[in-house]
Amino acid sequence: MPKQNTPKVMRKAVVEDTLLMKVVQKYFKLAGAVSVVWLVGYFKFSVSWLWLLLVVYVWKERSTKAKQHKTAISQEIARDEKSVILARVEDLPSWVNFPDVERAEWMNKILDQMWPYIGEFVEKIMRESVEPSVKNSLPASFKSFKFSTIDLGDIPPRIGGVKVYTQLRRDEIYMDLEINYSSDCNIAVSIKGVNAGIKDLRLHGTLRVVFKPLINKSPLIGGMLVFFLNNPELDFNLTSLANAFDLPGLSDMLHSIIQEQIANFMVLPNRYPIKLAEGLDLNKLRYPQPQGVVRVKVLEAKDLIKADISLTGKGKSDPYVVLKVGAKEVKTRIINNTVQPVWNETFEMIVDSADGQLLYIDVFDDDPGSKDDELGRVNMELSQLKEVGFEDEWLPLEDVKQGMIHIQLTWLWLANDPLELDRVMEQVMQDNRSDKTLEENKTHVAMLLVFLDSAMNLPRGKKTLQEPSPQATLSVGQQEMESGVRPNTNEPRWEESFRFMLHNPNYQNLEVEIKDTKTKKLIGGTLVKLKELLVAEDMVMDQKFHIKTSEGDSYVNMRLALRVLTPTANPEWMDDDDILIEESTKKKEAGSSVDGVGGAGSAQAAGSSVDRSANATSPGADQPSGREAAGDKEASATESMESARGPPAQESGLRQRNVPKNEAGDFGLGRVQMTFRYSQQRERLVIVVHKCSSLQPVEGDSKNLADPYVRMYLLPDKSSSSKKKTKVVKDELNPVFDETFEYSVSETELARRTLEVTVKNEVGMFSSSKTFMGTLLLDLSTLDISRAVTNWFDLAPEHQVKSTSFESDV
């Protein structure tokens, strides 16, 4: 009997027929276009031949690049199939890589079913909330802006993984969702009858959903907060007139504008609240007190990539640094023509949720007129900084061959004690006297939190009696912020929050002015002396403030809270929303069991670590009683820091445990200095080989020296892919390498690995010199992956080598 076609074979035949028809259709489209060009050329319109050549050239280029890409992938697979496969691990969903992240396929099925209804809900939000917000931010000539089409398409976002935090307060749940959205959406806008839009939106980021408060009646959840912890990755294609912007420079500008609008709506500190139960105050849910402030001092960088190559062959760069926390972004000044820039600039970034938020540090080369080149990047988890309080590190830049950046980080808590303000201001004055590079105008001592609620009884127009469209402007010194516009009302409700950084609350004032956006005239204003907050209960004023206007009694309702920025942790100053239950438990048990390295298991331990760090970097500061020994150790480590061209570990004050007094090490073969850092996001072990010290001359060398280099294997793998090797330094017993290497290894696998480090002497083919100079084995299960660690390690003979712990004497 003849074989019957199976469904699988029939489907394959249908697919092949469909593909064939698409190819035929594409061919006739191209043939038609070429025919038209040919006819135009036939009638001696010679310019058309240029277009024909352009069509042929573009087709050839696309075809050639496709072939080259396919060939390159095939060659890479042929060389090292395993590495090519592992290189794609970073694109897998988070539940594959992280054990505390769970798979959420059931949520994806629910999303798929609910997507049409979600689309209608999002369209309503965009028309009622986003559209007015965009209109207000545009010039008057573009006020006709509106969404002409909002179609989210048929492809819903996918949840790559879910992480739930339960060790919080009893009445709240935090849930982090990894969002991957590659949609077939079509969103178009219209301005003065001209249409433009985007399609094929691609978005990737971590969305946090907060269920708070939990209640004992239906629906059991009082409300929800939805926001992105950090700016999501965003890409899209342009349609209609917007295609004109799909050019280098213009496209980047459009992307940044849309990214900014998303940040203003749903990236911390901005949150989207959803009320689920009656009686819930959404404003308390939407505007909780920040957890703290991170003070970032960008000191310098070294060995950056030479991004600009001149005709003489000498390279240079024009580097600057961009810092990001949530929606906040700042950047340093540009240092021209150097790969060893020194900035010495200080910035302060407000942190709303340390657990999950990252500090992004990106280094760029300034290229006027074109896209700036990337010189490297590094990300730091703010939750770890919150625990230790202070970091002073040289960090190897990632995604580049070389380069390091020197960063100093301090976590600042928010205190409500006026006495703490006096202590902090005295400390800042001492720092300014001792450190001439410190920028006073960027160092603040306090933060003012303003909740602008509403205004009452604003005057109407004298002649027309029309109600105003009021907008409030709040300013403290040079800082100025504006509220939204509330159209046609003399009793506007803004319900907006503002935050100001303060240099000295004793002399600074908050000025509030309200103007009518219709007539552009000032309605009235008020001034609040911030020193009044210092004598208020809990440093908070929640009241009506009289507005000076041309008519009767007008008031503005505001809640003002003053918080001191202090490196000292005190549970009494923390907002209840930010105290973990487990931290409260540990605080009772911790007592004086704080280790000398600064590992804090509780708020009290974290406080002592912060205090030690703060005093170590501030000569003349008083040490807390009972901590003098630890403080003196930190201070002496800081005082021993060398100049910028010295060893990175000594420059930055990195944690170096038990550096041996014997310069040649315990075995007399010398030592090697290395930095280790584990990137949990990229799952990469980053190793910087700095230098060797006091190596021994090799037997047989004519100059009684050596030509050393360092070779590494990530055991038990001794294949070529595991082998890493530095450059060779000729005729030197104290060679400096400063080279960075990376191993792709998961956190779980890292604990089972050992790093073999061997210093060898390069010899010629006919040389009788020895090659072995010393070796060591490092137990990576003892590596503290929460921070960069720099150590000196003793080299040992082959027959005496033992596995070395990072915690042991090295």
Distance separating alpha carbons of residues 233 and 206, to the nearest angstrom: 10
Helix (H, G, I), strand (E, B) or coil at 590: helix
Select the highest-mean-pLDDT range: 241-255, 313-327, 594-608, 724-738: 724-738
CB of 214 closer than 8 Å to CB of 175: no
Length of the chain measured in residues: 810
Distance separating alpha carbons of residues 427 and 412, to the nearest angstrom: 13
For the domain covering 655-804, report its CATH number: 2.60.40.150
**Residue 796's pLDDT band (boundaries 50, 70, 90)?**
very high
Q: Which residues contact 540 (CB under 8 A, 6 or more apart)?
A: 416, 533, 559, 560, 561, 562
| Strand partners of residue 297 | 346, 408
With tokens 């178009």, the residue in question is: 188
CB of 251 closer than 8 Å to CB of 235: no
**Number of Cβ atoms within 10 Å of the Cβ of 252:** 13
CA angle in degrees (0–180, nearest 5) for 136-142-143: 50
- % the chain with pLDDT above 70: 69
Among 36-40, 310-314, 594-598, whose mean pLDDT is lowest? Answer: 594-598
Distance separating alpha carbons of residues 373 and 441, to the nearest angstrom: 30
> What's the mean pLDDT when you consider all of the chain?
75
Which pLDDT belongs to residue 28?
A: 76
**CA distances from residue 155 to 108, 126, 184 in whole angstroms, order as listed:** 11, 19, 6
Distance separating alpha carbons of residues 428 and 348, to the nearest angstrom: 14
Report whether pLDDT(97) > 70.
no
Select the highest-mean-pLDDT range: 132-146, 314-328, 623-637, 719-733: 719-733
Distance separating alpha carbons of residues 637 and 559, to the nearest angstrom: 45
Report whether pLDDT(33) > 90.
no
Report whether pLDDT(589) > 50.
no
Distance separating alpha carbons of residues 546 and 726, to the nearest angstrom: 71
Report whether pLDDT(56) > 50.
yes
Report whether pLDDT(105) > 60.
yes
Q: What is the pLDDT of residues 761-772, one digit of tens each?
A: 888 765 666 788
Distance separating alpha carbons of residues 403 and 151, to the nearest angstrom: 45
**Residue 323's pLDDT band (boundaries 50, 70, 90)?**
very high
**Residue 307's pLDDT band (boundaries 50, 70, 90)?**
confident
Among 75-79, 359-363, 716-720, whose mean pLDDT is lowest? Answer: 75-79
Which pLDDT belongs to residue 400?
A: 87
With tokens 């390279």, the residue in question is: 315
Report whether pLDDT(673) > 60.
yes
Helix (H, G, I), strand (E, B) or coil at 654: coil
Inter-axis angle of helices 628-639 and 603-616, to 10 degrees? 40
Distance separating alpha carbons of residues 446 and 421, to the nearest angstrom: 8
Report whether pLDDT(424) > 60.
yes
Between 569 and 86, the more confident residue is 569
Select the highest-mean-pLDDT range: 280-294, 571-585, 680-694: 680-694
Q: Which residues contact 617 (CB under 8 A, 6 or more apart)?
A: 390, 392, 408, 638
Q: What is the pLDDT of residues 475-526, one digit of tens each?
A: 998 899 998 888 888 889 888 889 999 998 988 999 999 998 888 888 889 9
Among 368-377, 636-645, 691-700, whose mean pLDDT is lowest? Answer: 636-645
Q: What is the pLDDT of residues 614-659, one digit of tens each?
A: 333 333 333 333 333 333 333 333 333 333 333 333 333 333 333 3
Q: For residue 511, which of 489, 487, 527, 497 has the smallest C-alpha distance?
A: 527
**Residue 41's pLDDT band (boundaries 50, 70, 90)?**
low
- Tell me the DSSP string of 664-710: T-TTSS-EEEEEEEEETTTTEEEEEEEEEESPPPPTT-TTS---EEE
* Positive or negative: CA dihedral 620, 626, 627, 628: positive
pTM of the model: 0.58
Exposure string (b/e) for 331-365, b if CB count within 10 Å is 16 or more? ebebbeeebebebebbbbbbbbbbbbbbbbbbbbb
Which pLDDT belongs to residue 312?
A: 52
For the domain covering 446-566, report its CATH number: 2.60.40.150
Count helices and strands in the chain by DSSP H and E runs: 15, 35
Mean predicted confidence (pLDDT) in 177-204: 80
Between 588 and 283, the more confident residue is 283
Which pLDDT belongs to residue 256?
A: 67
Which pLDDT belongs to residue 758?
A: 94
Between 326 and 192, the more confident residue is 326
Mean predicted confidence (pLDDT) in 752-757: 92
Which pLDDT belongs to residue 32?
A: 75
Report whether pLDDT(210) > 70.
yes
Q: What is the pLDDT of residues 777-795, one digit of tens each?
A: 999 988 888 777 888 899 9
Report whether pLDDT(398) > 60.
yes
Helix (H, G, I), strand (E, B) or coil at 549: strand
Which pLDDT belongs to residue 486?
A: 86
Pairing of strands 158-165, 186-191: unpaired
Distance separating alpha carbons of residues 621 and 566, to the nearest angstrom: 14
Mean predicted confidence (pLDDT) in 192-203: 76
Report whether pLDDT(712) > 90.
yes
Phi, psi of 107 (to 5 degrees): -70, -35
Which pLDDT belongs to residue 409?
A: 92
Which pLDDT belongs to residue 217?
A: 83
Which pLDDT belongs to residue 755?
A: 93
Which pLDDT belongs to residue 500?
A: 93
CB of 534 closer than 8 Å to CB of 505: yes
Among 135-149, 187-201, 241-255, whose mean pLDDT is lowest? Answer: 241-255
Span between the terminal Cα atoms of the chain, in Å? 79
Among 62-66, 396-400, 458-462, whose mean pLDDT is lowest? Answer: 62-66
Distance separating alpha carbons of residues 612 and 634, to the nearest angstrom: 7
Distance separating alpha carbons of residues 691 and 89, to the nearest angstrom: 32
Mean predicted confidence (pLDDT) in 420-446: 74
Report whether pLDDT(591) > 70.
no
Among 95-104, 262-271, 636-645, whose mean pLDDT is lowest? Answer: 636-645
The strand order across the sheet containing 684-693 reads 736-744, 684-693, 671-679, 789-794
Mean predicted confidence (pLDDT) in 444-468: 84
Q: Which two tokens stand for residue 362?
A: 């990106």
SS (H, E, C) 287-327: CCCCCEEEEEEEEEEECCCCCEECCCCCEECCEEEEEEECC
Which pLDDT belongs to residue 242?
A: 53
Mean predicted confidence (pLDDT) in 737-757: 89
Distance separating alpha carbons of residues 343 and 335, to the nearest angstrom: 8
Q: For residue 188, which of 174, 202, 199 has the smallest C-alpha distance?
A: 199
Mean predicted confidence (pLDDT) in 287-309: 86
CATH class of the domain defined by 292-415: mainly beta
Which pLDDT belongs to residue 103?
A: 79
